[in-house]
């Protein structure tokens, strides 16, 4: 029997190295929270921890709301999930999580809280409980997953996976390394020559896209759109001129539309302009997929056309912000989407379900489209959140992982030196002294992450 005996919430205010613009907000500071739990597992208690940023204007993109109110909303859904976690029970960790998920989901519908926001709270309690379970078993996450020690039982909530050998859809071993996909923020400097003297950082880390490619050996990128077609086309050309010169010739990129298109016709019109532009068309031969092109308000409406008709050439289109409720991915797949992003903030077991659905489609209908799950992230950082997310991505087999916490935040400098030292000792393949992410030839090593119970043995 699984039950929660206590939960606590702590917070640390962080500042970015440089402004980071995504969607409709430019980020310079935000809270980073830690949720610690004590889980009772068949009469034995174990502690676990989870962590995440509280990023305004992502879970709910309302331009009229004060970011401080949105941060308070995020705290509130964590508090509510903690209360429901205290009531939840289950014979297995999966059953306990599903009880928690249903309680939070019912509350969200009653209070008209968006599912994406509500289950951010669910995910933090879920992650902390998984951490406690892995620590109690002293066994890595991937091994427990393949042994089904969590008690995953799709008959509780997913008819499409009943009778499916879902464990066989996962790799026998987690990925030992992954390519780092570097996000180019909307106000990021592209060239060293474009950085003014008063903008120059003195922390020893690369600042421009040009310098990041040279320093980290990047070959994968994520490019964001603003919604202003003319400005986006001009910036894409500018970015392309840097990447094609500095990166290896086999570079790839994903396009994050950030929900900027309100109708399929708008997306198609933009795609036509891209593919008819002699400067951009060759660059777009390297496009891997497009993430969340349509606003979440319209992306999954019943009368929307097949999304594949909304881009002039064949390309995978996936959902991200539209993946709030349990039924959203199945709906998206029926509308022509090729898959979905995984972020731990949307839920670990839900992400596992999503990956299994996509892999099962790939097996049963391999020629229909290039099915995929992607690894996305909003500038996640250690000492907990980043490493737990990497553990899940490695288990799901997502080999191209968007990571930008090392770019927008100054490593682990905001945390106590003793904690920094513990992380460096536990993860010398992931971090380098003094306290920064170790990126080698554009890749992250995941060996120590995979060997730890749930990403890391460190307990802040």
Domain ranges of the chain: 2-138, 166-451
Q: What pLDDT, on a 0 to 100 scale, did the predictor assign at position 25?
A: 79
Q: Is the pLDDT of residue 229 over 80?
A: yes
Confidence of residue 62 (pLDDT cuts 50, 70, 90): confident
Give the CATH fold of the 2-138 domain. Enolase-like; domain 1 (3.30.390)
DSSP code, position 251: -
CA pair distance 158, 170, nearest whole angstrom:
17
Q: Which DSSP string do the residues of 6-25 spell out, in sequence order? A: EEEEEEEEEEEEEEEEETTE
Q: Is the pLDDT of residue 268 over 80?
A: yes
Neighbours of 29 (CB within 10 A): 9
pTM reported for the whole predicted model: 0.96
Closest CA to 228 of 257, 208, 254: 257
Tell me how many degrees the CA angle 431-433-435 measures, rounded to the nearest 5: 60
Pairing assessment for the beta strands 287-291 and 316-319 based on DSSP bridges: parallel
Neighbours of 79 (CB within 10 A): 12
Q: Is the pLDDT of residue 89 over 90?
A: yes
CA pair distance 156, 69, nearest whole angstrom:
36
CA pair distance 338, 311, nearest whole angstrom:
13
Alpha-carbon radius of gyration of the chain = 21
pLDDT digits (tens, 9 = 90+) for 281-330: 999 999 999 999 999 999 999 998 999 999 999 999 999 999 999 999 99
Per-residue tokens: 78: 């964590």
Q: What pLDDT, on a 0 to 100 scale, did the predictor assign at position 368?
A: 65
Calculate mean pLDDT across residues 77-84.
98
Q: Is the pLDDT of residue 409 over 90?
A: yes
Strand partners, 25: 22
Decide if 56 contacts 101 (C-beta within 8 A). no
Q: What pLDDT, on a 0 to 100 scale, did the predictor assign at position 157?
A: 94
Burial class (CB in 10 A: 0-12, 13-18, 19+), 71: middle
Calculate mean pLDDT across residues 245-253.
97
Q: What pLDDT, on a 0 to 100 scale, did the predictor assign at position 63?
A: 83
Q: What pLDDT, on a 0 to 100 scale, did the predictor assign at position 57?
A: 84
Q: What pLDDT, on a 0 to 100 scale, did the predictor assign at position 332?
A: 96
Distance from the Cα of residue 165 to its chain's centroid: 26
Q: What pLDDT, on a 0 to 100 scale, did the predictor assign at position 84?
A: 98
Q: Is the pLDDT of residue 431 over 80?
A: yes
Homologous superfamily of 166-451 in CATH? Enolase-like C-terminal domain (3.20.20.120)
Q: Which DSSP string do the residues of 371-427 spell out, in sequence order? A: -EEEE--SS--TTTHHHHHHHHHHHHT--EEE--HHHHS-TTTTS-HHHHHHHHHH-
Crossing angle of helices 209-216/229-246, nearest 10°?
30
């Amino acid at each position: 029997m699984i039950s929660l005996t206590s939960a606590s919430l702590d917070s640390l205010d962080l500042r970015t190295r440089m402004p980071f613009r995504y969607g409709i907000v430019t980020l310079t500071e935000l809270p980073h929270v830690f949720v610690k739990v004590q889980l009772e597992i068949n009469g034995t208690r174990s502690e676990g921890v989870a962590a995440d940023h509280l990023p305004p204007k992502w879970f709910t993109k309302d331009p009229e709301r004060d970011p401080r109110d949105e941060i308070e909303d995020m705290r509130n859904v964590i508090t509510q999930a903690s209360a429901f976690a205290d009531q939840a029970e289950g014979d297995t960790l999966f059953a306990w999580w599903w009880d928690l998920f249903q309680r939070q989901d019912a509350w969200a519908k009653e209070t008209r809280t968006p599912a994406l926001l509500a289950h951010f709270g669910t995910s933090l309690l879920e992650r902390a409980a998984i951490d406690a379970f892995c620590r109690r078993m002293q066994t890595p996450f991937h091994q427990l997953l393949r042994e089904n020690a969590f008690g995953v039982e799709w008959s509780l909530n997913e008819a499409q996976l009943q009778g499916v050998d879902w464990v066989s859809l996962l790799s026998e071993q987690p990925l030992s390394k992954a390519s780092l996909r570097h996000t180019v923020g909307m106000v990021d400097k592209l060239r060293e020559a474009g950085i003014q003297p008063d903008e120059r950082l003195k922390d020893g880390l690369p600042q421009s896209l040009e310098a990041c490619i040279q320093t980290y050996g990047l070959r994968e990128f994520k490019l964001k759109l603003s919604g202003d077609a003319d400005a986006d086309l001009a910036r894409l050309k500018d970015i392309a001129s840097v990447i094609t010169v500095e990166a290896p010739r086999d570079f790839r990129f994903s396009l994050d539309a950030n929900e900027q298109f309100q109708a399929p016709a708008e997306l198609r019109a933009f795609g036509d302009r891209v593919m008819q532009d002699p400067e951009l068309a060759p660059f777009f031969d390297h496009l891997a997929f497009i993430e969340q092109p349509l606003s979440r308000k319209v992306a999954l409406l019943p009368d929307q056309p097949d999304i594949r008709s909304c881009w002039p050439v064949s390309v995978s289109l996936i959902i991200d912000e539209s993946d709030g409720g349990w039924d959203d991915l199945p709906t998206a797949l029926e509308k022509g989407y090729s898959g979905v992003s995984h972020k731990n903030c949307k839920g670990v077991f839900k992400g596992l379900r999503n990956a299994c659905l996509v892999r099962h489609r790939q097996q049963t209908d391999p020629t229909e489209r290039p099915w995929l799950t992607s690894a996305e992230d909003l500038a996640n950082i250690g000492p907990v959140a980043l490493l737990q997310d990497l553990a899940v991505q490695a288990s799901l087999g997502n080999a191209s992982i968007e990571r930008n916490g090392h770019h927008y935040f100054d490593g682990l400098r905001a945390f106590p030196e003793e904690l920094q030292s513990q992380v460096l000792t536990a993860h010398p393949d992931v971090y380098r002294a003094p306290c920064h992410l170790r990126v080698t030839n554009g890749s992250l090593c995941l060996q120590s992450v995979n060997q730890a119970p749930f990403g890391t043995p460190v307990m802040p």
